A = this chain, B = another copy of it.
Amino acid sequence: MPNIHDIAKKAGVSVSTVSRVLNNYKYVSEEKRKAVQRVIDEWSFAPNRNAIGLIRGETRMIGVIMPYNNNQAFDQMLHGALNRSRELDYSVAVLPTKYDKNKELEYLYMLKNKWLDGVIITSRANDWEQILPYVEYGAIIACEFTEHPEIGCAYIDRYASYVDSFQFLKEKGHQAVAFTTARGWESKSTQQTIAAYENVFGAVPDRYFISDCYSFEDGYRAAEKLLGLSDRPTAIYANGDEVAGGMYRYAASAGLTIPQDVAILGQENQPIGVALDLCSVDHRLVQVGEQAFDLAVRRSRDKVNIPYRIIKRSSV
């Protein structure tokens, strides 16, 4: 494989001239530029990206830290990031953690060893205290709101969204409302959901709250539990449309009518929700991913709020 010296020699110029042609510098005579370009084409020369990364100290590569990649919500954010990466001519690395703290730190380490220019944290296992030391090495953008001024973020006002959702259910006449979340108390999103519930309905009855729901199957089982209660809820707020789909399926198989017997409210406006005509709170996660990517590229520390919306359908 030829290197820049070979090209220079063959074209009868110096390596700097080749470099200038490669990087579209002005101050290169048309004559030499053509000569160099001819050799580059002829030998189909490709400048070594590691050498460039080494010297420039940047790789034009952004990492997306996500707990799971086959998850509707995270895939939407990844999708947003990929959209922008194409337009800005960056590459993206997918960094799945399964909420493993060490794995997450390993990924952050890739900023330090100059492999990544920045990372987008769609959801994290570590506390900010563990993460903050890495801001010195590259952009760290969160997909949640954080006070830390050194962390840029593209976020949703989740608390407001949850309050709105519960309020919406209440206005539809529901008093006995249950809900599910992905993670447990360690997750801020779970805490916010609970706080919003308390704001609207008061204390959360233990039996009306189920965590660790990720999939269709989890939703099915959650509904089984919830709807088997003697004082079963008249509405369920699911943490995602797939989970909501599982609930729908259980309810249907149990002979319950939706929304008369039980109302179901999902999240993220997924195809399965459209399929089942499920009412859903759309947090516009693709937009979150796009914004986060832009912030990462610009090494910005801005805090950008992304608006949500409730999509009304027949399940509530």
Contacts and interface: CB of A to CB of B under 8 A. Distances in A.
Nearest to A76: B70
Interface string A102-134: 010000011011110000000000000000000
A204 interface: no
A311 interface: no
List the number of copies, as a whole number: 2
Contacts of A82: 69, 94, 96
Decide if the interface of chain A is mainly helix, strand, loop or mixed: helix
A26 B242 CA distance: 52
Interface string A30-66: 0000000000000010111111011000010100000
A249 interface: yes
B69 A79 contact: yes
29 contacts: A46-B109, A46-B112, A48-B54, A49-B110, A49-B113, A49-B114, A50-B51, A50-B53, A50-B114, A50-B115, A53-B53, A54-B54, A70-B76, A70-B79, A78-B94, A82-B94, A86-B96, A91-B95, A91-B115, A92-B93, A93-B94, A94-B94, A216-B271, A216-B274, A216-B275, A217-B274, A246-B275, A249-B274, A272-B275
Given A50-B54, A92-B94, 4 more contacts: A48-B54, A93-B93, A242-B271, A272-B272
Interface of A: 44, 46-51, 53-54, 59, 61, 69-70, 75-76, 78-79, 82, 86, 91-96, 103, 109-110, 112-115, 215-217, 242, 245-246, 248-249, 271-272, 274-277
